[in-house]
Structure 1
Amino acid sequence: MAVYTQVSAEALGDFLARFDHGSLLSAKGIAEGVQNSNYLVDTTADRFILTLYEERTSTDDLPFFLAMLDHLADDGNPVPRALPDRDGAAIQQLAGRSACLIEFLTGVSVSHPTPAQARAAGAALGQLHESLAGFTQTRANPLGADTWRPFLERCGRDIDTISPGLFDRTEAALTAVLAEWPRDLPMAAIHSDLFPDNVLMLGDRVTGVIDFYFACTDIRAYDLAVMHTSWAFDGDGTTYDPAIGKALIDGYASRFPLSEAERAALPILARGACLRFLLTRAWDWLNTPADALVTRKDPLAYWRRLETYLKDDLFA
């Protein structure tokens, strides 16, 4: 989540008038994340999230995201639906952007998860995958493995301003990962971005899974690998917690069993996930507008993770 597009109180009040969800009391921009503009909105009726979709989210993809959320919610998963206006339309226009008014879910994201919380979060991902086995819509992954080399080339040698020699090191790691990338594992709709800040919890209980705007069709086990890279390390990627890593895998498998082939592929999938987030963070680091209310994330935190995966089999 982030804020790139500013919305006036008057425009937001007019927007809310399309719904039966009260009148505006307050709105506050949410700085976390990098994809879209988000506001926490309080009305006389309830609390909501307002999302304005920026250039990196195609309006053409919104029906896929919203259908996926409706499917998951109908199957009992704790995900937020986009709310329709009085005419039944969920996708709106506001401040020159497509926009949705979204259910607010209670809970907090944890920055230092315990093994019990990690197990619950892994189980929540397993529950999502169990539900999505019956979801038939598809969306190609715009940040899938086939896009990583072009992404590095777009960053170019400017990436060396982040760390000297980073371009050559990343290119070598990318060549190695793509040579081993699995092409025969089960594909499915996945979240593909299930970081701790996209899971809401109360104690050890998951109360919400949010921010589905990277959702796509890709290797199902890749979703778990992404989660492993984000949950099992500290923020700067220097320290791995094996108890957290094991709890994630065990929690997931308690709801959705992993095949032997999927387990065997987790190390290479995790290395690929490290490169994906290294590259997108590097691009954002180099190109985020100076006046955007957004928290840039350290690309090198994912290089450090990659080095750990290269050194040890963390899934043994």
Structure 2
Amino acid sequence: MAVFTEVSRDEATALLRRLGLGTLTDMAGITGGIENTNYFVSTERDGQRHDYVLTLFERLSFEQLPFYLYLMKHLAAKGIPVPAPAADDRGEILHRVQGKPAAVVDRLRGHSELAPDASHCAQVGAMLARMHLAGQDYERVQPNLRGLAWWNETVPVVLPHVSAEQANLLRSELAYQNHLAQTPAYEALPRGPIHADLFRDNVMFDGGQLSGFFDFYFAGCDTFLFDIAVCLNDWCIDWASGCADAQREQALLNTYEGVRPLTAAERQLLPAMKRAAALRFWISRLWDWYLPREASMLKPHDPTHFERVLRARIQAL
């Protein structure tokens, strides 16, 4: 989350009133993240304060966005704690600000837990499994736009910016993942809508209890195992080394399986999917680091972190 497009108070006021959300009282750009323009906005309605997040989508198109927004609406209706998009009097949840697609969603209570323990990981595992099951009857379909096809397109773009050793690792791991994707075991993996970016800063806790998942704008239809691997690579590692933290990892997997047991194919390919998830975020961070976009408050993430995670996952085999 950053600010690529400056939104005036008048523009925000007009949108919030059109959505029946009250009168704008506070508005502040959100730092962190690198994809969309985000603002915290607060309103007064019926004598009470209400808090929301206003997002302008900088890369996703009007045609792509209904998948994400209606997925959030679908999951919220199933009891999964995710931000519900606000609709206008015609029921539309995708809006327009400065010619760009925009949405306003509820702001979840609580805060992100950036130093999680086994208890936090256990709560994430159980809710992730509930989310996967709740999304199985979601009718819209859209591929994971940061999946294997995107990796194949983007690696050649970042190769000129890395060392020879790093380039060799990128090429070899990409070749491994392309081969893996053609195997019967991979084809047997259960699939459906996934979050695909469920890092610690995309989960909220309130009083030690998980209060919601948010930022679904990398979601897509892919393997549930990839979603699990993304979580394990962020929630359950030693930050300095990139190596797995066995206690936190087992806590997340145990509670996940308490809701949705893994299949034999998933158990077989979990180590490979951890590598895939590390590769995906190493590539995207290289891309954002060396080919950045201009934005107020833009803070690209250090790509070397996921290089360490990938090397640790390979060495653990």
Q: TM-score category by the smaller chain?
A: over 0.9
Query: Contact (CA 8 Å) 1:32, 1:295: kept in 2 or not?
Result: yes
* Other-structure match for 1:86: 89
Distance in 2 of aligned mates of 1:87 and 1:139 = 25
Is residue 179 from structure 1 mapped to residue 183 from structure 2 by the alignment?
Answer: no
Distance in 1 of aligned mates of 2:281 and 2:55 = 23
Pairing partner for 1:104 from 88, 107, 112: 107
* Other-structure match for 1:169: 169
Deviates more, 1:101-110 or 1:171-180: 171-180
Query: Contact (CA 8 Å) 2:194, 2:220: kept in 1 or not?
Result: yes
Is residue 311 from structure 1 mapped to residue 315 from structure 2 by the alignment?
Answer: yes
Query: Contact (CA 8 Å) 2:4, 2:294: kept in 1 or not?
Result: no
Per-residue deviation, 1:294: 2.0
Amino acid at match of 2:14: D
Pairing partner for 1:54 from 29, 51, 58: 58
Show the 5 A alignment for 1:232-251: 232-235=236-239, 238-251=242-255
List per-residue Cα deviations over 1:169-226 (Å, max 9, x = no partner).
Answer: 2112222232233233122111111111111112442111101111111112111011
State the secondary structure of the residue aligned to 2:192. Answer: strand
Distance in 2 of aligned mates of 1:9 and 1:53 = 18
Is residue 132 from structure 1 mapped to residue 143 from structure 2 by the alignment?
Answer: no
List per-residue Cα deviations over 1:29-60 (Å, max 9, x = no partner).
Answer: 111212211100011131111011112x1221
* Other-structure match for 2:273: 269
Check 1:86–1:136 CA distance in 2 against 1; reply closer, same or farther (3 A cut): closer
Distance in 2 of aligned mates of 1:152 and 1:243 = 34
Distance in 2 of aligned mates of 1:245 and 1:195 = 14
Is residue 11 from structure 1 mapped to residue 7 from structure 2 by the alignment?
Answer: no
Distance in 2 of aligned mates of 1:47 and 1:38 = 13
Distance in 2 of aligned mates of 1:49 and 1:61 = 20
Overall identity of the aligned pairs, in %: 32
Amino acid at match of 2:257: A
Amino acid at match of 2:70: A
* Other-structure match for 1:2: 2
Query: Contact (CA 8 Å) 1:194, 1:226: kept in 2 or not?
Result: yes
Distance in 2 of aligned mates of 1:136 and 1:256 = 21
Pairing partner for 1:222 from 221, 226, 230: 226
Query: Contact (CA 8 Å) 1:120, 1:204: kept in 2 or not?
Result: no
Check 1:203–1:235 CA distance in 2 against 1; reply closer, same or farther (3 A cut): farther
* Other-structure match for 1:43: 43
* Other-structure match for 1:119: 122
Q: Which structure 1 segments of 5+ residues have no match?
A: none
Query: Contact (CA 8 Å) 2:61, 2:101: kept in 1 or not?
Result: no
List per-residue Cα deviations over 1:143-177 (Å, max 9, x = no partner).
Answer: 1123312210122312x1xx563222211222223
TM-score by structure 1 length?
Answer: 0.93
Per-residue deviation, 1:139: 0.5
Distance in 1 of aligned mates of 2:88 and 2:9 = 19
Query: Contact (CA 8 Å) 1:237, 1:302: kept in 2 or not?
Result: no
List per-residue Cα deviations over 1:68-119 (Å, max 9, x = no partner).
Answer: 1111111111011110123322111112311111111102111110101100
Pairing partner for 1:144 from 142, 147, 167: 147
Per-residue deviation, 1:291: 4.1
Per-residue deviation, 1:3: 1.6
Distance in 2 of aligned mates of 1:116 and 1:204 = 9
Per-residue deviation, 1:14: 2.0
Distance in 1 of aligned mates of 2:187 and 2:53 = 38
Per-residue deviation, 1:235: 4.2
Q: Which structure 2 segments of 5+ residues have no match?
A: none
State the secondary structure of the residue aligned to 1:221. Answer: helix
